[in-house]
Structure 1
């Protein structure tokens, strides 16, 4: 989050929103202009909400109050069409900057503009999502942070919590690039840990409970990557898991606060 704030300050200077003063004889106080900040979030759930709030809290600490900052927060409610509408709205209204929370939000925004600076957070792999050319040199109008999970450590945690575990159920939305990146990593490391992944894909939040039920009696534990669709319906997974005494290891810490057994990961809020 602090890296994002540094990126933001650099962008504000670049677009001339923060004045630097002028003249060698009589320095002037920095000129403050009002910033139009668009925030687009794919869906409401605790991890993404915490990322947004942490970002706004940091801005406030740096003096960006209501007089200097106009925030337009839009939530797509998990709908890709809504994301596209929101992205077009920010472009048409000429936002100075956009904070895109989660991979689908970032991709929708980047597809709509190459001119407006875009800050990203809660994005698993910006390179695979073709948002940047590299993490070191983005080479586009996109910058920010990656929240790629330590997938191997998280699967290892399952072995530590359930030493007898052999089969691990995984529920994910294959159309989310961020999820597929994590699944690819899990596929590589699971055999090293003596684990077999039993994967179930979903295409809508309404399918999550059925997916969890399909894993009962087939697996020894459930692993939930940071998948926006699944995490937003995590209560359904936890209900099935509790009824069947299946431990759930999650990809992000907020899921633990909401009932998952454990994780090894990052705090989204600063």
Structure 2
């Protein structure tokens, strides 16, 4: 692909109502040398984790020398699936050069809307189960990206190290989020193998989170919630209620620890954003989607909220804390 000369700008646009027709260009779109390559980012909702992915995708592009080579357009669907479809259709109608959907729902919408425009998704935990690719190593359509599949088994092992008296876990998740359901399936398999009990509390929207949390009080020794956008959007509510009940909450992402979750072996979304940027750059500069199979985030971090630990009365020795990123 010819190198493209332009300037990197973040253009935050208001949602419009029109829908565009599908592009008929080839997957490997080649702007002329005096054109800007336009990248359209669509985010399912405003949330610290998703915001950080977007911000560090853009920062990553700058760090990789793309500052004067692309324009980035960003639109937030505000948690509305109809808005996601509208945004994607606008991008397709505008014949944009690349779409970067953040989170599973946005990626599924992008995949359904175009077979031509290159799609590089961010933060899709289980892209095979989401129907985006048939295999992590086979990207024979117009979509690839970076998965934020978390090390769920490692989180449970961490929980047994920090809170060894936990015998029953509570699972809170949104039944409508493919990534969350897949994560809980792995958690159940781990608990079944190790002989731990678990109690489920499912939700369909964030307004149900308080009741779901309260339903677990007195029944569980700890709570686990995976990468779940619905839970994450109201994580501070879950955290405060769990702290009142003296229950540690293990989570799947750094932002959820920042919002009061106890600990995780989780995802640093700065790393994920930069990884997405590197893949986008390669494809914009000539590599094909087929050349770039789905990647999994390449770095995890042990994280603990020390204020939550104190509120729960959990004492962590200094030697153990050396292995953690401390969040206050």
Q: Give TM class, smaller chain.
A: 0.7 to 0.9
SS at match of 2:123: strand
Q: Does 1:253 align with 2:251?
A: no
Mark the runs of 5 or more structure 2 residues left unpaired by the alignment.
1-26, 272-328
Query: How much has 1:208 moved relative to structure 2?
Result: 1.1
Aligned length: 245
Q: Which TM-score applies when normalising by structure 2?
A: 0.71
1:47: which partner in 2? 49
State the superposition RMSD in angstroms.
1.6
Q: How does 1:145-224 map to 2 (within 5 A)?
A: 145-224=146-225
SS at match of 1:64: coil
8 Å contact kept, 1:133–1:140: no
Deviations 1:208-266 (A, max 9, x none): 11111111111111111000111111011011011111101111122212221110122
Q: How does 1:116-127 map to 2 (within 5 A)?
A: 116-127=117-128
* Candidates 31, 46, 66, aligned match of 1:64: 66
8 Å contact kept, 2:104–2:124: yes
2:322: which partner in 1? none
Q: Which TM-score applies when normalising by structure 1?
A: 0.86
Deviations 1:39-98 (A, max 9, x none): 111122222212111110111123333x64332211112221221111111111221111
Mark the runs of 5 or more structure 1 residues left unpaired by the alignment.
1-12, 20-30
* Candidates 30, 36, 56, aligned match of 1:16: 30
Deviations 1:178-219 (A, max 9, x none): 111111111111122332221111111111111111111111
1:23: which partner in 2? none
SS at match of 1:209: helix
SS at match of 2:176: coil
Query: How much has 1:32 moved relative to structure 2?
Result: 5.0
Query: How much has 1:133 moved relative to structure 2?
Result: 2.0
8 Å contact kept, 1:156–1:193: no
CA distance in 1 between counterparts of 2:172 and 2:209 reads 8
CA distance in 2 between counterparts of 1:63 and 1:155 reads 40
Q: Does 1:269 align with 2:270?
A: yes
8 Å contact kept, 1:78–1:229: no
1:84: which partner in 2? 85
1:240: which partner in 2? 241
CA distance in 2 between counterparts of 1:237 and 1:247 reads 11
CA distance in 2 between counterparts of 1:247 and 1:130 reads 34
Deviations 1:122-166 (A, max 9, x none): 110111111112111211111111111111111222222221111
8 Å contact kept, 1:173–1:229: yes
SS at match of 2:83: helix
SS at match of 1:123: coil
2:22: which partner in 1? none
8 Å contact kept, 2:191–2:197: yes
CA distance in 2 between counterparts of 1:253 and 1:151 reads 14
1:37: which partner in 2? 39
